[in-house]
Amino acid sequence: MIERFLKQTTFASQEDYANNLEFIIPDNFNFAYDVMDEWAKEQPNKLALLWTNDEGECIRFSFKDIKEQSDRAAAYLMSLGIGSGDMVMLILKRRYEFWLAMLALHKIGAVAIPATHMLTTHDIVYRNNRASVKAIICAGEEYIMEQVIGSKAESPTLKTLVSIGPRQAEGFHDWHKEWMDAPTFVRPGKNNNDDTMLMYFTSGTSGEPKMVAHD
């Protein structure tokens, strides 16, 4: 796989590496399709993700699993009106759904904004308005959901809320209840290499957090 994206894959020295590392960037490159889905074609049963939690749950995802579930997640998010260029905040802690949501957003051309679960209502309002956040997908935990709900009144661009559970609340879509009914995923179109893929907010230690985009 790596040889698709590097002109040289082995190096004799640090100097060789510094002088000859050169990336091959395909037109309309998309990590979800061009890397993850390609792994699913080449080695569908290879382990892609091993997820565990403090309660002892353990879930193994092959590349085939990741492809199928990220396709389903993409179709689900599109059914909620999320499309190319839309800003979507992810407050998902270390839940495995984070990875499915990330790849799904890449596939539809939306912009993922990962965020810590420690944000206050004020923090979320600030981010919503600075980035014109359209949707928030969050872990269904009391504190997180309270802060998200509290941000709605001061966030005019915020239209869609999704909880991955275990808790649900009025006004939230239920990811695990609804996503299995999503239509078959159809790739919506190709992206451009200068499209924004991710957006982060800095820690704000010397002022208000600043947006940092990654294409």
pLDDT in tens, 77-132: 999 999 999 999 999 999 999 999 999 999 999 999 999 999 999 999 999 999 99
Number of Cβ within a 10 Å radius of residue 203: 9
pLDDT of 99 reads 97
State the virtual CA torsion across 209, 175, 83, 104 in degrees, nearest 10.
80
For 99, the domain range is 29-214
Distance CA 16, CA 211 (A): 35
Residue 32 has pLDDT above 90, yes or no: yes
**DSSP for 35-49?**
IIHHHHHH-TTSEEE
pLDDT of 2 reads 84
Residue 108 lies in a domain: yes
Q: Residue 97 belongs to a domain with what CATH number?
A: 3.40.50.12780
pLDDT of 205 reads 74
pLDDT of 140 reads 97
Residue 17 lies in a domain: no
Residue 115 lies in a domain: yes
What are the angstrom distances between the C-alpha of 81 and each of 5, 85, 86, 91, 94? 33, 12, 9, 19, 25
Confidence grade of residue 190 (pLDDT, cut at 50, 70, 90): confident
Residue 184 lies in a domain: yes
Domain count, the chain: 1
- Residue 56: CB partners within 8 Å, gap ≥ 6? none
